[in-house]
Amino acid sequence: MNRGYAIAILAAGLGTRMKSRYAKVLHRAGGQTLIELAVGAARRLAAPGQIHVVVGHQAEGVQQTLAGSGVQFVRQTRQLGTGHAVLVGRQQLQAWKRVLVFYGDCPLLTANTLRALQKRHAATRAAATLLTTRLVNPTGYGRILRGPRGEVREIVEEKAATPEQKAITEINPGVYCFETGPLFKCLASLKPNQAAGEYYLTDVIAGLVGRGLRVEALLVEDASQVLGINTRAELAEADAVLRRRKAQALMAAGVTIQKPETVIVDAGVSIAPDTVLEPFVQVLGRSAIGPGCRIGSHSILRDASLAGDVVIEAFSWVEDSRLGRGARIGPYARLRPGNVVGAEARVGNFVELKMTRLGARSKAQHLTYLGDSVVGADVNVGAGTITCNYDGVAKHQTVIEDGAFVGTHSTLVAPVKIGKGAYLAAGSVFTEAVPPGALGIARSRQTNKPGWAAQRQRRQTGARKH
C-alpha cells in the first residue's frame, strides 16, 4: 500500500439547482471552470497520478477540460450520492493509506487549508478528520453534531435535520481526510439515507463513530473559503471572491488598479509592474501585459500580448494579438485575432484589424479596416482606408511596403501590393500594384462648371412663372 495520500474530487453530479444544460463543474468562476479550480488546488499538494476525479454527467466534457493535466478519472454512471461516488473509486483509492476527499463545486478552497487539514489529521491519528466552519446562515449545508465533550458524532443533512439541528451554525464544507481502510469498510455497509434515498458520504462519520473510531475536526475561521456552489447566485459570489483575490495579488506585485471592484482579470493573466488598469477593464484568457502599460476604461483584452509601455485607450477590443513596445491603440479600436502591431505604431478610433501586421511607427488612426494585410514600417494609412480582402469565396492579401503614404479613403482590392515609399491619391480604388516611389491615382478627374449654380436658379424661377 502506498503510504501517502490519494485525492478524490467528486464531480459527477449535474447540479440541478444551476438550471443549466451544462454540468455544474463546467461553469466558470474567476475565468476558470469549477473543476479546473478544484484540480488546481489539489495539484498544489499532489502529483497528477494521486488525483482522482469522479465524473458522470457530461463526463467527456469534464475530461476534455482536464485533458493534459494527467489526473485520473473514475466513472460514476449513476449518481447515487456522494458516498456512492467515493465507493466507485474504491479500487484505485484503496491503494493509498489515506484519501483527501472534497467536492468539485467548492472553488474557493485554498491549498493552504487542505494542507492544514492533512497536518491535523496526521497529528490526531483519527480515522477521519474533517473541515468545519461557522456560518451566520447555515441553510443548505450539513450540520455538525457534537457530543458532550465536543467530539464529532454525526453530520446531519438539511433535509433530515430537526428544527433544533437546523439552528446549529457549525457546518460541513465537504472536505475530509480519511484512513482508506475504515472508510471503505463503512462505505461497503452504508445504507441509503432515509431522507433522500442517496448514499451520503456524510453518513460515514456516524458509521466510524459507531465502530468506536475517532473523528476529528478542524474549524476554519475564513468561511468564505468553503462556499459550495449550488446556484447561479453562489457562482457569482465565488466569481467576485476570485476576482478580488486576483486583483489583490496583482496590486501586491506592483500593478495599479483603479476601482478594483469593477475590473475583471482572469486567473491565467500576467501583468507586469507599473501597468495601470482603469475602471471597468477586462483582461481575459491567457493575456500577458508588460510593464508600464495603461489599459483604458471599458477595454476588453483576450489572449492579448502587450510589450512594455503600450497604451490602450478607452473602449477598445483586443483579441489574440501582439502589440509591440509603446504602441497606442484606440479609443474605440477593434483588433480581431491574428494581428502583430509593431513598436510605437498607432491604431486609432474605429479602426479594425484582422490577421494584419502593422510595422513599427506605422499609423492607422481613423475609420479603417485592414484585413489579411502586411504593412511595413513608417506607413501612414489615411482615414477611411479599406482593404477589400474577401471576394465572396477566398481571402486575399494586401501588402503595403515601408514608408508608403496611403491617401484618405483609399480602397485596396486584394491581392494588391503598394511599393516602398509610394503615394496613393485620396479617394482611389486600387486593383493593381503601385510601384515603389510612384504616385498611384485611380479616380475620375474633377470637372468644374463655372456659374452653374446661378444658371440653375434662373432655370427654376423661369419654370415657376409659366
Residue partners of 435: CB distance under 8 A and separation at least 6: 419, 422
With CB under 5 A as the contact rule, the residue among 31, 56, 89, 228 that binds Ca ion is 228
CA dist 404 and 351 (Å) reads 18
For residue 248, give the H/E element and its range.
helix 232-252
Site mask for ligand UD1 (CB under 6 A), range 131-150, x = bound: ----------xx--------
Q: Which of residues 102-161 bind Ca ion (CB under 5 A)?
A: 105
The entry of ligand UD1, Ca ion, none that residue 172 binds, CB within 5 to 8 Å by partner kind: ligand UD1
Contact between 174 and ligand UD1 by CB under 6 A: the answer reads yes
The entry of ligand UD1, Ca ion, none that residue 225 binds, CB within 5 to 8 Å by partner kind: none
In sequence order, the β-bridge partners of residue 204 are: none
In angstroms, give the least distance from the CB of 37 to Ca ion.
14
Question: How many chain residues touch ligand UD1 (CB under 6 A)?
Answer: 28
Q: What are the two backbone dihedrals, phi and then psi, of residue 369, each rounded to the nearest 5 degrees?
A: -120, 120
Contact between 31 and ligand UD1 by CB under 6 A: the answer reads no
366 is catalytic: yes
Contact between 215 and ligand UD1 by CB under 6 A: the answer reads no
For residue 163, give the H/E element and its range.
helix 163-166
Cis-peptide into 48, omega within 30 deg: no
The entry of Ca ion, ligand UD1, none that residue 10 binds, CB within 5 to 8 Å by partner kind: ligand UD1
With CB under 6 A as the contact rule, the residue among 30, 31, 81, 440 that binds ligand UD1 is 81
Of the residues 57, 121, 298, 366, which is catalytic?
366
Torsion angle in degrees (nearest 10) through CA of 216, 176, 268, 29? -100
With CB under 6 A as the contact rule, the residue among 12, 93, 127, 205 that binds ligand UD1 is 12
**SS3 string of 397-463?**
CEEECCCCEECCCCEEECCEEECCCCEECCCCEECCCECCCCEECCCCCCCCCCCHHHHHHHHHHHH
Contact between 201 and ligand UD1 by CB under 6 A: the answer reads yes
The entry of Ca ion, ligand UD1, none that residue 94 binds, CB within 5 to 8 Å by partner kind: none
Q: Are 46 and 52 in contact (CB under 8 A)?
A: no
Cell of 405: 503614404
In angstroms, give the least distance from the CB of 30 to Ca ion.
18
CB atoms within 10 A of CB 31: 21
DSSP conformation letters of 169-236: -EEE-SEEEEEHHHHHHHHHTPPPPTTTSS--TTHHHHHHHHTT--EEEEEES-GGGG----SHHHHH
In angstroms, give the least distance from the CB of 141 to ligand UD1.
4
Count, residues in the chain: 466
Contact between 107 and ligand UD1 by CB under 6 A: the answer reads no
Residue range at the interface with ligand UD1 (CB under 6 A); choices 180-188, 198-206, 382-390, 403-411: 198-206
Where do we find the cell 466569481?
A: 239
Rounded to the nearest 5 degrees, what angle is found at the Cα of 369, between the Cα atoms of 287 and 309? 35
Residue range at the interface with ligand UD1 (CB under 6 A); choices 199-207, 327-335, 373-381, 433-441: 199-207
In angstroms, give the least distance from the CB of 61 to ligand UD1.
13
Residue range at the interface with Ca ion (CB under 5 A); choices 230-238, 303-311, 314-322, 338-346: 230-238
Q: Which of residues 46-75 bind ligand UD1 (CB under 6 A)?
A: 54
In sequence order, the β-bridge partners of residue 8 are: 52, 101
Cell of 57: 454527467
**Reduced to 3 DSSP states, what percent helix, strand and coil does the chain have, rounded to the nearest 5?**
25, 30, 45
The entry of ligand UD1, Ca ion, none that residue 58 binds, CB within 5 to 8 Å by partner kind: none
With CB under 6 A as the contact rule, the residue among 30, 31, 107, 173 that binds ligand UD1 is 173
Q: For 340, what's the count of Cα atoms within 13 Å in the CB-facing half-sphere?
A: 8
Taking alpha carbons only, the member of 388, 353, 356, 354 closest to residue 368 is 353
The entry of ligand UD1, Ca ion, none that residue 142 binds, CB within 5 to 8 Å by partner kind: ligand UD1
With CB under 6 A as the contact rule, the residue among 6, 7, 8, 10 that binds ligand UD1 is 10
Residue number, 27 or 84, with CB nearest to ligand UD1: 84
Residue range at the interface with Ca ion (CB under 5 A); choices 78-86, 197-205, 228-236, 319-327: 228-236
In angstroms, give the least distance from the CB of 242 to ligand UD1.
17
Catalytic residues: 366
Residues that bind ligand UD1 (CB under 6 A): 10-13, 54, 76, 79-82, 84-85, 103-105, 141-142, 155, 157, 171-174, 200-202, 228, 230
